[in-house]
Structure 1
Amino acid sequence: MERSDGSLSRRGLRGREAELEQLRAVLTSVVRTGSGVLVLLRGEPGIGKTALLGEVVTTAGAAGFSVGLGKADELHHIVPLSSLAACLLYGDRPLLSSDAFADLTRHHDQRIWLVERVAEAIEARAAEMPVLIALDDVQWADPLSRFALKQLPTRLRTSPVLWVLTGRQDPAGPAQEIVTVAKGGLPSVTVPLGPLSGTAIGQLADDTLGAAVDDRVRQLLDGAGGNPFLAVEMLMGLGTTGPSGQPVPEGIVVGVRGRLRSLEPSTLRFLQMGAVLGRRFGFLDAAALYGRPSAGLLAELEEAVRAGLLDDDGEQLVFRHDLLRQAVYVDIPPSARKALHREAAGHLVAAGHRPIDAVSHILRGAQAGDDEAVTLLRLAADDVLSVTPGLAADLMTRALELAPPGRPSWYDVGVRAIVCLTRAGRNREALETGDRLLAARPPLETFGRIQAALGGTLWNLDVAEELRRRAETALALGGAAPEVEARLTALRALALSRGEDLGAAREAGENALRAAIATGDREAHVLALFGLGESALNAGANAVALERFTALSAVEPAFLPEEIVAHQHMDDFEAGRRLLLRAADDGGSVPQTKLLWAQASQHLGLGDLDDAEADLVTMERLENDVHICVQQVNARVIRSWIALLRGDREAARHQLTAARERRATKPNPGNTAAVRFLEALIADDEGNTALALDRIRQVQQEGPFMRWRLLRTWVGSAIRMALCGADRALAEDLAAQAEAHGARNPAVPTATGIAAQAAGLVRNDLTLLERAVALLEESPRPLVRAGAQADLGRALLTTDRGAEANAALTRAHDLFVESGVHAAAARVRRDLDRAGAGSRRATTPRPVQGWEALTASEKKIARLVAAGHTNRSAADLLVVSPHTVNTHLTSAFRKLSVNSRVQLAHVVMALPED
């Protein structure tokens, strides 16, 4: 609000004219451009951040924004999504209904899925009007809200969404972390709030005391150090006691205490109980902690409200400022604070609050040996594990510290801590926790449970041999419960699936499955089926692998991506498409990163390389977001291979460097083989035959070439390199492996076709190459078909069958062009020149800017978004992930040099009719 003379009338906004003008300009730019902006208001406590945020909210509402306003709370900073909840659920037009929010929290098995649903709600509202999401005190935001705030501003940068956060001056705090993540993704503005000038403080004094302001008061205000909140509190204190009262000491907390001196002792004690409960607290909860009936505290409540210390929002009492709460809180002796927090936790749980609501008090008040506190921490960890596994791990680690060592309950808590730490991706910490428990020499039954709990940890750490050793040790010692023994048996089988003797792995898996069924243990059942599927796929028994993974996904839907990939290995991409559609409607039970890998494999197999690359880029980003990186080596290898096919050697080498870096953190044999093969491809492309041949031999040192499922369709390239390097024995070995793989998969055209192609290359046999082309006509993989056609065409060039050579090479050329691999097409075109068919028009790579720089998928998505589709609706139409749509859209915006959906719509409307 402004007076008629233009001066600000609201206390706390004196001297903030420049900042207000800057924020109004940002509001205007969001409306004008239709694109997102992130603003951080930063400063010390009491400097006026909340007041300034309130002015932004008022101005935005008047300008037609849909406004969501929330405030993070120090004592509720661990309740998942509590900080953002107010931004989503309250206001004139809530972004989410209470029912919709409750539905989200019931199905929030994955952070990524949940945040995407929140993004869709905001995006839908932003299509109607600009949106302001304002969150005060972001330094106390809960972990899930912080996670969301790192994703959402960039995810919604193409929509008119303004994010305004307030935070304290902490260069390493959550506020700065959110801004750092957003930089480069969307415009971000930091507005530092410094001390007010003496003139502005004088204006505040005039506002508060009017004629009562004299030189002595102005001298006292120097102690506020330009902090408007402290200045106002000093002035209000003077207004209560009179200018002749005791001088107000300097310092924020001491200054605020001046406001509390006139209160009745019982009112101050009531406020202290509230301060223990948090900035927002229930009247009944405070009365219970005080130990008095609520009716007997009405006078104290009225005095606290009348003194301007508390507000009553109709549901809870709220300290008017955090500094008021802190001033009350610090006067409670530390030992009393601890006891009161512990008592508060008990009262909250007894009153029906969730365990997670009491956890902050447990963390501040519990002492070693507090069994009730341990139980509450465990219940809270179970409640938040699915969406904030890191928080669950922290809670269980604290519970383990409180539990008495050596007791059965200590081991129980430790096993649960291992599970939570593993889910959070903190595998080293989980292993250390497990080994600490084992060092205490637990009973045999407990020993087996600990080793079984460490199974997922060791699998994630890529130490299959250590997993096998531990499982076998626990089984040999005996004493484990039947269900635990079944899990250990299944873990042993899973570990063996990474070894050389896959026959032994299959046998172990069958034994494990029987044990799982006999005990009825679901975890053992899942592990046994997973081990059997892995063993079968690694052995190249694709039909068996499909059978196992289909059974597995029926038991545990999170493994649906494994079933999709198994269908792809059977050349059944139509089944893969149907399952991808089903997963899109699944409601979040399938991990998004695994689903993106399956989707990328689908696009890769079908020759949709642009889409495959977008999927892989998105997958890696999401894996980084959740700190669980699984497929990044393979993803970089594939992206490098695609770059080579397109003729972009610089990009190929960049991806090779990235693949090497990621392999350093997961140096398992499969990753090592993939990187070695990529090095061979790049060396071959650069004409370094000796190096290429050396790298193929190194692949074989990790295990037979066809053992590595990623490399199976590339065996022809390896054979050509071996023949070029005059290593016929290596070429024959590779061909024999391909032949054996084809024999194991007689119903898979790709497998049988590649086997014939490999044999034809080694034997220089036209009949076998022709057979390969014929078999691969039934394969859904265009790049594999193109490679076989090219091999046949080149072989035919050495005969007098020029017309047939021309036909085969032309078909190969066209298939390569359709997939956008211009370097591969150019190599075939040179062969066509040799065949006398050089009139074929050369293809040119896409430009880097403008509409023609967009891939086919980017054009489709650009047109859909320009027509008003959201990421979700566009994803549904194109049968891809909304995350992939976002990746395509980001690329399209960059190539078109636009920043919003409105600008994109103008570009699309200006295009000529097709």
Structure 2
Amino acid sequence: MAGAGGPLSRSGLRGREAELEELRALIDSVARSGSGALALIRGEPGIGKTTLLTEAVSRAAAAGFSVGCGKADELHHLVPLSSLATCVLHGDRPLLSGAALVDLARRHDQRIWLVERLAEVIEERAGGMPVLIALDDVQWADPLSRFALQQLPGRLRTSPVLWLLTERRGVDGPAEEIAAAVRDELPVRTLALGPLSGAAIGRLADDTLGAAADERVRDLLRGAGGNPFLAVEMLAGLRTADASDDPVPPGLVLGVRGRLSSLRPDTLRFLQRGAVLGRGFGFHDAAALCGRPAVALIPALEEAVRAGLLDDDGDQLVFRHDLLRQAVYVDIPPSARKALHREAAARLVTAGHQPIDVVSHLLRGARPGDREAVELLRRAADDVLPVTPGLAADLVTRALELVPTARPLWFEVGEQAIGCLNRAGRNREALATGDRLLACRPPVEMLGRLQAALGGTLWNLDLADELRRRTEAALTVGGAAPEVAARLAALRALAMSRAQDLVPARAAGEDALRAAVATGDREAHVQALFALGEIALNAGENAAAWERFTALSAVDPAFAPEEIVACQHMDDFAAGERLLARAADGAGGIREAMLLWAQGQQHLGLGRLDDADADFLTMERLEDEVQAHVQQVNGRVIRSRIALLRGDREAARDHLTEARRRLAAKPNPGNTAAVRFLEAVHAEADGDVRLAVDRIRRVQDEGPFLRWRLLRTWVGSAIRMALRGADRELAEDLAAQAEAHAERNPTVPTATGVAARARGLVRDDLALLDHAVDLLRASPRPLVRAAARADLGRALLAAGRRAEAVTALTEAHAEFAAAGAHAAAAQVQRALRDAGAGSRRAGGRRPVQGWEALTASEKKVARLVAQGHSNRTAAELLVVSPHTVNTHLTSAFRKLSVNSRVQLANLVRALPDD
């Protein structure tokens, strides 16, 4: 490998030969294997992290890598993507142009979307050459860069991308979180830099002083404690010191501070103002903070550069090492630092900087009652809310602390804080903030605003009764602005969607919708349509739900997943497919995890178990990444059911355990019912019919609204459990429920067919079971069709009508097998053997390793990637999410025992033609 074995390029690497060799080997491995890796260099300030990183970057560039190298900054650690931007914008061939990055920032409204776009850019570059992305001082990385760094290495693990990060030891930073996030997916190396040996320090002295590095100097250098930066600073002082009996300038052993003692007052003042601005700062900004014309400070700048304290790159001034900046900074009295930070914020805003650019200064310098600081923090929170809601919540919460309690502005800022906390998923904190504001008796109009802001909080916490109580109380008090009253009315209707009698809820929703349209308030309009959609679902009225969610999606495209699932309830999977494709085209405005939920439901309904499982797995990962756990319990319930259909009992039990664990964290009625139903399915599989019946009965008795949502297509399984447990009353109740659902949805073949099947099972009526099969021929759901045919086949067999039974059972077996429901197919196969038909060999099971272990979708993805497609282009061809493609690709790599796209391409090319 070019550049790998030459001499050390700088004396600062003395004593780091072993670490450098380890990095060289990692660079070589990434280039050779075509797969990713991550290296983390840790150590105290001045220990040589940056020098080692710089040398690694040089060697990677010499080896043909495309290199992006950047540095996080302590005073810019809140600006979204500022840290990672330094990596992708710099270098001979930047990964992104400045205009492209601005375009990304302008268009995105979700972190996941932005990370996916960055991944595409890096993946495209890595398709032609290996890539190194290096970030120095990652402990100061901004929240969005930290989020991206937790996702991107794993997302790009199949491409030749090396991530190189440095972090200070002893500083709470994100490096370990980043490493932990990717450790199971790609190689991670941690290089902990300790003090240099005495011999290495001695070689540094020889490099700097030559013959002057006598034993007295070496004794002195022991005071550096093996820290190469301090040693170099001492040596620089020795080299420039005047000859005397004591060659050591006063204070030199103290390290950096000794360099400042000989500076003129103007220079020191200039450096202090620069240190307040950050490690890198503008000359004019520092001059303004000094209160002097820039031209008057040119001598100070020149002296600072001559003293080796600052570098001037033509665009900005940079402290040569952050230890230098800190040494200057800590000598400023604390009260003066606070005032300078506040003044710096004002100067930067006047110069045209954005509010988020000055937030670090405001957090250090703002005092209670500083209204301008409050407004800047609020504006910054609004700017970063779409991509870093947690940061937005922190900023506006800080703004709230700066406002005197119970003042009008305090309530306004508090309302904004509730909204930001909700977006960040910090619902209990939002509720506590709201209640603290309400306890101070806000004006009547603000009372309504605060209760409306808390509506989403209470809904997310599943406090429907409390939501109804509060909204009704606020509406009774009156005094709210018309648009706020419309929001409160819509929230009240939403709370009523959980009631047993939904007639009043529907009337309340219609009234709320009219009020929302009359006021023109978008938030009220969205909330009213969502409430009406929920009411229709809970009433089992699928057509009405589809109508409401279609209207809602037109107002706010983020609700496209709800519209797609509503289509599926109407058996219109073709419309669902079109909507999925349209949503993928505009994914920037869609909740990615919920879109995957809709995609998984589409695949599940169409009997594509492998694809559905991949979708729900991907959805869970995305929800974990953004810490928004909405569908994780239901996702695990479905995945457990899929595993049982496939015959993987171990995986099914694991999913049940995880569903229970997540239910404990979010114990709402829907999640509870779903887990209890799953427990019933497992109990039946384990032969515990009594437990199965108990769980089904509890689902029926608790939460009446769930009757229309949970058992739509699985009611037949529940009835069989009730009949096996001799609980005819429960079986009759379930059948009546299915029939009522069919009456509400007479144009939905699945609904009418399931109802006929349910009544046929209860009555043991062959004619009804046969009618159910006929009705379900129009259903697009193969698993439902197969289950009905299996029931009919068994009933025919019991009636002695063997030939008809074999036909029905054979059709059921074929549909189960085609869907990948191997366990269900095996049960039908046993019934066929009892009828004297069918093979005694179990078939259809995939191996666990090798090409034939791949699912059909995994094979498609593997072939597309082998042809050179990126995740995005493969997703477009397959009409799925790029995240789902990544899930399929990860599984394919594991089954094929390959680590890179290059290895995958070689394997695919070696396969025989189909």
Q: TM-score, normalised by structure 1?
A: 0.98
The answer to whether the 8 A contact 1:637-1:678 is kept is yes
Residue 303 (structure 2) aligns with: 303
Say what the alpha-carbon RMSD is for the aligned residues: 1.7
The alignment status of 1:586 with 2:605, answered yes or no, reads: no
Residue 446 (structure 1) aligns with: 446
Residue 56 (structure 1) aligns with: 56
Residue 792 (structure 2) aligns with: 792
Per the TM alignment, residue 844 of structure 1 is displaced from its structure 2 partner at its CA by 4.0
- Provide, for residues 614-650 of structure 1, a one-character-per-residue CA deviation record: whole Å limited to 9, x for no partner: 1111111110111110001111110111111112222
The alignment status of 1:808 with 2:827, answered yes or no, reads: no
Per the TM alignment, residue 724 of structure 1 is displaced from its structure 2 partner at its CA by 1.2
The answer to whether the 8 A contact 2:109-2:387 is kept is yes
Per the TM alignment, residue 728 of structure 1 is displaced from its structure 2 partner at its CA by 1.2
| Distance in 2 (alpha carbons) for counterparts of 1:242 and 1:530 | 80
| Distance in 2 (alpha carbons) for counterparts of 1:309 and 1:16 | 25
The answer to whether the 8 A contact 1:234-1:259 is kept is no
Change (3 A) 1:821 1:144: same
Residue 19 (structure 1) aligns with: 19
Matching residue's letter, 1:278: G
| Distance in 2 (alpha carbons) for counterparts of 1:838 and 1:545 | 44
> What aligned pairs does 1:11-90 form with structure 2 within 5 A after superposition?
11-90=11-90
Unaligned 5+ segments in structure 1 are none
Per the TM alignment, residue 8 of structure 1 is displaced from its structure 2 partner at its CA by 2.7
> What aligned pairs does 1:762-841 form with structure 2 within 5 A after superposition?
762-839=762-839
| Distance in 1 (alpha carbons) for counterparts of 2:810 and 2:8 | 76
| Distance in 2 (alpha carbons) for counterparts of 1:837 and 1:860 | 35
Residue 128 (structure 1) aligns with: 128
Moved more, 235-244 or 422-431: 235-244
Moved more, 242-251 or 759-768: 242-251
- Provide, for residues 20-65 of structure 1, a one-character-per-residue CA deviation record: whole Å limited to 9, x for no partner: 1111000000011110000001100000110111001111111100
Matching residue's letter, 2:66: S
SS at 2:324's partner residue? helix
Per the TM alignment, residue 220 of structure 1 is displaced from its structure 2 partner at its CA by 2.0
> What aligned pairs does 1:342-381 form with structure 2 within 5 A after superposition?
342-381=342-381
| Distance in 2 (alpha carbons) for counterparts of 1:321 and 1:907 | 49
Moved more, 287-296 or 464-473: 464-473
The alignment status of 1:543 with 2:552, answered yes or no, reads: no
Moved more, 308-317 or 117-126: 308-317
Per the TM alignment, residue 509 of structure 1 is displaced from its structure 2 partner at its CA by 0.7
Per the TM alignment, residue 541 of structure 1 is displaced from its structure 2 partner at its CA by 0.6
> What aligned pairs does 1:207-606 form with structure 2 within 5 A after superposition?
207-242=207-242, 244=244, 247=248, 254-606=254-606
> What aligned pairs does 1:100-111 form with structure 2 within 5 A after superposition?
100-111=100-111
SS at 1:588's partner residue? helix
Per the TM alignment, residue 206 of structure 1 is displaced from its structure 2 partner at its CA by 2.2
Per the TM alignment, residue 3 of structure 1 is displaced from its structure 2 partner at its CA by 13
Identity of aligned residues (%): 74
> What aligned pairs does 1:630-709 form with structure 2 within 5 A after superposition?
630-704=630-704, 707-709=707-709
Residue 140 (structure 2) aligns with: 140
The alignment status of 1:890 with 2:890, answered yes or no, reads: yes
The answer to whether the 8 A contact 2:414-2:437 is kept is yes
Matching residue's letter, 1:182: V
Residue 149 (structure 1) aligns with: 149
| Distance in 1 (alpha carbons) for counterparts of 2:397 and 2:83 | 24
| Distance in 1 (alpha carbons) for counterparts of 2:735 and 2:160 | 58
| Distance in 2 (alpha carbons) for counterparts of 1:902 and 1:7 | 32
> What aligned pairs does 1:727-742 form with structure 2 within 5 A after superposition?
727-742=727-742
SS at 1:314's partner residue? coil
| Distance in 2 (alpha carbons) for counterparts of 1:247 and 1:409 | 59
SS at 1:165's partner residue? strand
| Distance in 1 (alpha carbons) for counterparts of 2:4 and 2:166 | 29
Per the TM alignment, residue 250 of structure 1 is displaced from its structure 2 partner at its CA by 7.7
Per the TM alignment, residue 9 of structure 1 is displaced from its structure 2 partner at its CA by 4.6
Matching residue's letter, 1:433: T
The answer to whether the 8 A contact 1:787-1:812 is kept is yes
Per the TM alignment, residue 443 of structure 1 is displaced from its structure 2 partner at its CA by 1.3
Per the TM alignment, residue 492 of structure 1 is displaced from its structure 2 partner at its CA by 0.7
Residue 186 (structure 1) aligns with: 186
The answer to whether the 8 A contact 2:34-2:159 is kept is yes
Per the TM alignment, residue 300 of structure 1 is displaced from its structure 2 partner at its CA by 1.0
Residue 719 (structure 1) aligns with: 719
- Provide, for residues 639-670 of structure 1, a one-character-per-residue CA deviation record: whole Å limited to 9, x for no partner: 11111111222221111111111111221111
| Distance in 2 (alpha carbons) for counterparts of 1:181 and 1:172 | 17
| Distance in 2 (alpha carbons) for counterparts of 1:222 and 1:6 | 30
The answer to whether the 8 A contact 1:2-1:9 is kept is no
| Distance in 2 (alpha carbons) for counterparts of 1:583 and 1:323 | 50
Per the TM alignment, residue 215 of structure 1 is displaced from its structure 2 partner at its CA by 3.0
Matching residue's letter, 1:667: P
Moved more, 195-204 or 166-175: 166-175
Matching residue's letter, 1:116: E
Per the TM alignment, residue 461 of structure 1 is displaced from its structure 2 partner at its CA by 1.1
Per the TM alignment, residue 247 of structure 1 is displaced from its structure 2 partner at its CA by 3.9
Change (3 A) 1:541 1:45: same
Aligned length: 913
Unaligned 5+ segments in structure 2 are none
| Distance in 1 (alpha carbons) for counterparts of 2:327 and 2:27 | 36
Per the TM alignment, residue 381 of structure 1 is displaced from its structure 2 partner at its CA by 0.4
SS at 1:238's partner residue? helix
Per the TM alignment, residue 249 of structure 1 is displaced from its structure 2 partner at its CA by 7.2
Change (3 A) 1:694 1:705: farther
| Distance in 2 (alpha carbons) for counterparts of 1:260 and 1:219 | 24
Change (3 A) 1:704 1:482: closer
The answer to whether the 8 A contact 1:2-1:8 is kept is no
Q: TM-score, normalised by structure 2?
A: 0.98
| Distance in 2 (alpha carbons) for counterparts of 1:29 and 1:365 | 48
Change (3 A) 1:480 1:374: same
Per the TM alignment, residue 804 of structure 1 is displaced from its structure 2 partner at its CA by 1.4
| Distance in 1 (alpha carbons) for counterparts of 2:568 and 2:99 | 39
| Distance in 2 (alpha carbons) for counterparts of 1:105 and 1:605 | 37
Per the TM alignment, residue 774 of structure 1 is displaced from its structure 2 partner at its CA by 1.1
Moved more, 757-766 or 28-37: 757-766
